[in-house]
Structure 1
Amino acid sequence: PLMRQVPGFVAYYWVDAGDGVMVSTSVFQDRPGAEESISRAADFVRDNLASLLPNPPEVMAGEVVASA
């Protein structure tokens, strides 16, 4: 629900990569939406999950160059 409220939201995925590694991917129509989602996610993690995470989240952003 947090990401769906951000303008330009397209999709959100949460992946269990194994060995305690989790990966989330958000897709937005434009960079401003992606940047807003990063801000909201950082606030959510800080307020709700920080004590559960052994390492701080790593944030990356980029353009989609291929899809199927």
Structure 2
Amino acid sequence: MFAVVRHYHFKPEDGEKIDKIIQDGFVPLLKKAKGFVRYYWLDTGNGEGASLSVFKDKAGADESIHIAAEFVKAQMSTLLTQKPEVIEGPVRAHD
């Protein structure tokens, strides 16, 4: 399995709007990616959020990076205060 973690920064007052955009727009799109396993989004309430996406293989994780970049550019760019940080790698431990 491969995972992608994305770290976002935004104004705290935009948190609920971003949560809705992700739930209603991004999650359904991401679920169509090859090898999709799971997606989690967390919002700290303080202007930061992070997501964890899990895929069966690297190809799916790579595809998700492109999907997310296009989605953020089209739907969230005006809401973010800086470019998202993205890390990707193989899952080495899980239950």
TM-score, normalisation: structure 2: 0.68
> Greater share of strand residues, 1 or 2?
2
- Partner in structure 2 of residue 48 of structure 1: 75
Aligned mate of 2:60, from 19, 22, 33: 33
Query: 1:16 deviation in Å?
Result: 1.7
Question: Please, which moves more after superposition, 58-67 or 16-25?
Answer: 16-25
Higher fraction of helix: 2
Q: How many residues align?
A: 68
Matching residue of 2:11: none
Deviation at 1:19, TM superposition (A): 2.2
Distance (Å, rounded) in 2 between the aligned partners of 1:52 and 1:4: 23
Q: Secondary structure at the match of 1:42?
A: helix
Percent identical: 49
What RMSD over aligned residues (CA atoms) do the two structures have, in Å?
Answer: 0.9
Please give the alpha-carbon distance, in whole angstroms, between the structure 1 residues aligned to 2:53 and 2:85: 14
> Is there any run of 5+ residues in structure 2 with no aligned partner, and where?
1-27
The farther-off stretch of 2-11 and 18-27 is: 18-27
Cα deviation, 1:13-50, whole Å, max 9, x if unaligned, reads: 00123421100010000001000010011000000100
Q: Using the alignment, how far apart are the partners of 2:72 and 2:45 within structure 1?
A: 20
Larger RCO (CA within 8 A; separation ≥ 6): 2
- State the partner residue of 2:6: none
